[in-house]
Homo-oligomer: A and B are copies of this chain.
Amino acid sequence: MTTVQVGCDLMYSVTNPTSFLFNVAAARTAHQTIREETLQLNPYIKYETSSLGTEDIQVYRLYVEPCDLQLQYRANVDLYPEIYDTSGIIETGYSQLPNEVLPYLSPSRYCESDRLTHFALRMFGNAEPGFSRVTAICDWINSNLDYEAGSTGESTSACDVLIQRVGVCRDYAHLAIALCRALCIPARYISGYAVALQPPDFHGFFEAYLGSRWYLFDATRMAPVQGFVRIGTGRDAADASFATIIGEATLTYMAVWAEQTEPNQITNQPVSPSAVSTTKS
Interfacial residues, chain A to chain B (CB-CB below 8 A): 19, 21, 50-53, 59, 61-63, 93-95, 99, 102-103, 106-109, 111-112, 114-116, 118-119, 122, 146, 154-155, 159, 162-166, 184, 234-235, 238-239, 246
Contact = CB atoms under 8 A, between A and B. Distances in A.
Contact of A106 (B59, B109, B119): B109
A21 B106 CA distance: 13
A162 B164 contact: no
Contacts of A115: 155, 163-164
Given A115-B163, A162-B163, A235-B235, 19 more contacts: A19-B93, A19-B94, A19-B95, A52-B99, A53-B103, A62-B95, A63-B95, A94-B246, A106-B235, A106-B239, A107-B109, A108-B235, A109-B111, A114-B155, A114-B238, A116-B163, A118-B164, A122-B146, A184-B246
A51 B99 contact: yes
15 contacts: A21-B102, A52-B102, A59-B99, A94-B246, A95-B246, A106-B234, A106-B235, A106-B238, A107-B109, A114-B155, A118-B146, A119-B165, A122-B146, A159-B163, A162-B163
A238 B113 CA distance: 11
B239 A103 contact: yes
Nearest to A93: B19
Contacts of A59: 99
Given A19-B94, A118-B164, A163-B116, A107 B63 contact: no
A95 B163 contact: no
A139 B256 CA distance: 45
Contacts of A111: 109
A246 to B, nearest CB: 4
A95 B61 contact: yes
A119 B103 CA distance: 29
Residue in A62, A94, A235 with the greatest tally of chain B CB atoms within 10 Å? A94
A53 B235 CA distance: 15
Given A109-B114, A112-B109, A184-B246, A163 B50 contact: no
A113 to B, nearest CB: 9
Contacts of A94: 19, 21, 246
Contacts of A239: 103, 106
Given A93-B19, A108-B108, A164 B119 contact: yes
A184 B116 CA distance: 29
A163 B119 CA distance: 7
Top-10 shortest CB links A-B: A94-B246, A19-B95, A106-B238, A19-B94, A107-B109, A63-B95, A119-B165, A118-B166, A52-B99, A159-B163
Contacts of A154: 114
